Copies of this chain bind each other. A is one copy, B any other.
Amino acid sequence: MKLQQITKKKNVPSHRSYDDACGIAHALDLIGERWALLVMRELLLGPKRFSDLRESLPGISANVLTQRLEGLEQAGLLVKRKLPPPAASQVYELTQWGYESESIICDMGRWAARSPSHDPTLPVSPVSIILSMRTMFDATRTLGIDARVGFQFGYENFVARVLEEQLHISRAPVEGADAIFTGTARYLAAAIYGGVPLAALEKKGALTVAGDRTLAERYLTLFVLPPKVKPTG
């Protein structure tokens, strides 16, 4: 049997809609499909390439990632951009409106972290742990700190600025930071939220600290998870 000659060249995802005027339902039409919100998460701290996204989202397959990027672009949440030569590679970048979803997405994370079934020992992406710092930061613990702390997760580098009871953290080269963590996001999470002593992680070679070690230890205490809910609600 001959294929339908309709071949739109682009597959029409049919976008199963809720057909509901409620803004919440529309939000799900935009970002409710599997993986969509995690793609957004990975872009919240700046543009990424296709393969960077794949690496940060273990379990997503290439075709699904393609579909999500198409959907999010069509929704107006991100744009496909070509970097100027050299390195004329393609990146995906959130629009202004896309970036404005950050507070909602992070609030969701904070809310879900109270779940009894939440397992903080699973792997995390670099972006996840950095966003968690913005989310779980406790300003009351910063008394007197004025410092820059760097993070090196492979090619993904970030710098946190702690000053006047505020935290600003974003992508930046770590050179010149007062303390620098190097390793994987997962082990840094173990140090911050898992209560694993820094010395133990260093001994394992999982995480290394350069610069002001006392500052590094202190920095780890600035973040606290919200209290768990009782299993019986």
Contacts and interface: CB of A to CB of B under 8 A. Distances in A.
B107 A233 contact: no
Interface stretch (A4-12, A18-26, A152-160, A216-224): A18-26
B59 A189 contact: no
Interface stretch (A115-123, A163-171, A195-203): A115-123
Contacts of A107: 103-104, 107
Given A21-B120, A124-B20, A233-B98, A112 B38 contact: no
B123 A24 contact: no
Interface in A23-67: 23-30, 32, 34, 37-38, 41, 58-59
A40 to B, nearest CB: 9
A23 B104 contact: no
A127 to B, nearest CB: 9
Given A98-B233, A229-B76, A233-B95, A28 B21 contact: no
Interface residues of A, number: 63
Say how many copies of this protein the assembly contains. 2
A213 to B, nearest CB: 26
Given A75-B115, A97-B114, A233-B98, A128 B41 contact: no
Nearest to A117: B75
A16 to B, nearest CB: 8
Contacts of A111: 23, 27, 100-101, 104
Nearest to A103: B107
Which among A21, A59, A97, A109 has the greatest number of chain B C-beta atoms within 10 A?
A: A21
B24 A233 contact: no
Nearest to A101: B111
A26 to B, nearest CB: 5
A96 interface: yes
Of A27, A122, A135, most buried by chain B (CB within 10 Å of CB) is A27
A163 to B, nearest CB: 26
Given A22-B132, A76-B117, 8 more contacts: A22-B41, A22-B124, A23-B110, A24-B131, A32-B32, A97-B233, A104-B107, A104-B108
